[in-house]
Amino acid sequence: MARLDHVITNIVDIFQEYAKDEGKKNKLNKEELKKVLQQEIQSPELKGTINADDIEESMQMLDKNHDGEVNFREFCRCVSYLAKCHYKKKTGKEGKGGKGGKKGKGKEQEPEQED
Ligand SMILES: [Ca+2]
Ligand SMILES: [Ca+2]
Protein backbone atom coordinates (compact mmCIF):
# COMPACT_ATOMS: atom_id res chain seq x y z
CA MET A 1 0.00 0.00 0.00
CA ALA A 2 1.23 3.49 -0.73
CA ARG A 3 2.08 5.56 2.28
CA LEU A 4 -0.84 7.95 2.19
CA ASP A 5 -3.22 5.07 1.57
CA HIS A 6 -1.79 3.54 4.65
CA VAL A 7 -2.09 6.68 6.76
CA ILE A 8 -5.68 7.29 5.74
CA THR A 9 -6.73 3.70 6.24
CA ASN A 10 -5.09 3.75 9.63
CA ILE A 11 -6.84 6.90 10.77
CA VAL A 12 -10.22 5.45 9.89
CA ASP A 13 -9.43 2.02 11.34
CA ILE A 14 -8.12 3.40 14.59
CA PHE A 15 -11.09 5.66 15.05
CA GLN A 16 -13.58 2.89 14.38
CA GLU A 17 -11.78 0.37 16.49
CA TYR A 18 -11.82 2.56 19.59
CA ALA A 19 -15.13 4.30 18.97
CA LYS A 20 -17.08 1.05 18.86
CA ASP A 21 -15.83 0.01 22.28
CA GLU A 22 -18.64 1.50 24.33
CA GLY A 23 -21.58 3.84 24.00
CA LYS A 24 -22.08 5.34 20.58
CA LYS A 25 -20.23 3.41 17.93
CA ASN A 26 -19.28 6.43 15.87
CA LYS A 27 -17.95 8.57 18.69
CA LEU A 28 -15.16 8.44 21.19
CA ASN A 29 -16.18 9.12 24.74
CA LYS A 30 -13.68 10.21 27.33
CA GLU A 31 -12.51 6.71 28.17
CA GLU A 32 -12.17 5.74 24.53
CA LEU A 33 -10.30 8.91 23.73
CA LYS A 34 -7.95 8.23 26.58
CA LYS A 35 -7.23 4.75 25.28
CA VAL A 36 -6.50 6.02 21.80
CA LEU A 37 -4.11 8.62 23.10
CA GLN A 38 -2.40 6.18 25.43
CA GLN A 39 -2.07 3.33 23.03
CA GLU A 40 -1.71 4.87 19.62
CA ILE A 41 0.70 7.69 20.43
CA GLN A 42 4.14 6.76 21.63
CA SER A 43 6.37 9.66 20.69
CA PRO A 44 7.03 11.86 23.75
CA GLU A 45 6.80 14.93 21.59
CA LEU A 46 3.24 14.15 20.50
CA LYS A 47 2.27 12.89 23.92
CA GLY A 48 3.26 16.30 25.22
CA THR A 49 0.94 17.92 22.73
CA ILE A 50 -2.20 16.05 23.65
CA ASN A 51 -1.97 14.58 27.08
CA ALA A 52 -3.90 11.44 27.99
CA ASP A 53 -3.30 12.18 31.67
CA ASP A 54 -5.28 15.36 31.37
CA ILE A 55 -8.14 13.87 29.49
CA GLU A 56 -10.60 16.59 30.52
CA GLU A 57 -8.46 19.19 28.89
CA SER A 58 -7.78 17.14 25.78
CA MET A 59 -11.48 16.42 25.42
CA GLN A 60 -12.32 20.08 25.72
CA MET A 61 -9.75 20.94 23.16
CA LEU A 62 -11.00 18.37 20.66
CA ASP A 63 -14.72 18.52 21.30
CA LYS A 64 -15.56 21.42 19.05
CA ASN A 65 -19.29 20.91 19.02
CA HIS A 66 -19.44 20.36 22.78
CA ASP A 67 -21.36 17.13 22.87
CA GLY A 68 -18.89 15.57 25.25
CA GLU A 69 -17.54 13.11 22.70
CA VAL A 70 -15.14 13.08 19.79
CA ASN A 71 -16.67 12.30 16.42
CA PHE A 72 -14.71 11.38 13.34
CA ARG A 73 -14.46 14.94 12.16
CA GLU A 74 -13.05 16.02 15.50
CA PHE A 75 -10.70 13.06 15.50
CA CYS A 76 -9.37 14.14 12.11
CA ARG A 77 -8.71 17.56 13.52
CA CYS A 78 -6.80 15.95 16.32
CA VAL A 79 -4.66 14.00 13.88
CA SER A 80 -4.00 17.01 11.69
CA TYR A 81 -3.21 19.06 14.76
CA LEU A 82 -0.62 16.50 15.80
CA ALA A 83 0.76 16.41 12.28
CA LYS A 84 1.10 20.16 12.25
CA CYS A 85 2.88 20.16 15.59
CA HIS A 86 5.27 17.55 14.34
CA TYR A 87 5.86 19.48 11.15
CA LYS A 88 6.56 22.69 12.99
CA LYS A 89 9.00 20.95 15.20
CA LYS A 90 10.74 19.32 12.31
CA THR A 91 11.04 22.42 10.22
CA GLY A 92 11.65 24.71 13.16
CA LYS A 93 9.05 27.07 11.79
CA GLU A 94 6.68 28.98 14.01
CA GLY A 95 6.15 28.09 17.66
CA LYS A 96 9.90 27.93 18.24
CA GLY A 97 9.46 25.23 20.84
CA GLY A 98 12.19 23.09 19.31
CA LYS A 99 15.52 22.11 20.81
CA GLY A 100 15.80 19.82 23.74
CA GLY A 101 12.37 18.33 24.09
CA LYS A 102 10.12 18.87 27.09
CA LYS A 103 8.45 22.13 26.49
CA GLY A 104 5.01 22.93 27.78
CA LYS A 105 2.21 21.69 25.64
CA GLY A 106 1.49 23.89 22.69
CA LYS A 107 -1.76 25.42 23.68
CA GLU A 108 -2.35 27.67 20.73
CA GLN A 109 -5.80 26.98 19.46
CA GLU A 110 -6.63 27.84 15.96
CA PRO A 111 -9.74 29.81 15.39
CA GLU A 112 -12.08 27.27 13.90
CA GLN A 113 -15.68 27.43 12.96
CA GLU A 114 -18.13 25.43 14.96
CA ASP A 115 -19.82 22.59 13.24
CA1 LIG B 1 -18.01 5.00 21.59
CA1 LIG C 1 -17.90 16.41 19.77
pLDDT in tens, 71-105: 999 999 999 999 999 999 999 976 554 455 444 55
Tens of pLDDT along 1-41?
Answer: 999 999 999 999 999 999 999 999 999 999 999 999 999 99
Task: Write the burial class of residue 36 (CB in 10 Å: 0-12 exposed, 13-18 middle, 19+ buried).
Answer: buried
Q: What pTM did the predictor assign? A: 0.78
Give the C-alpha separation, 38 to 52, whole Å: 6
Per-residue confidence band for 56, with pLDDT thresholds at 50, 70 and 90: very high
List the domain boundaries for the chain. Answer: 3-91
Q: Which listed ligand is nearest to 36 at the C-alpha?
A: 1
Using the mean position of ligand 1's atoms as its centre, give its distance from the Cα of residue 96 in Å.
36
What pLDDT is stored for residue 69 in this prediction? Answer: 98
Using the mean position of ligand 1's atoms as its centre, give its distance from the Cα of residue 31 in Å.
9
Per-residue confidence band for 111, with pLDDT thresholds at 50, 70 and 90: low
Give the C-alpha separation, 115 to 110, whole Å: 14
Using the mean position of ligand 2's atoms as its centre, give its distance from the Cα of residue 99 in Å.
34
Q: Which listed ligand is nearest to 25 at the C-alpha?
A: 1
CATH top class, domain 3-91: mainly alpha
Give the C-alpha separation, 34 to 28, whole Å: 9
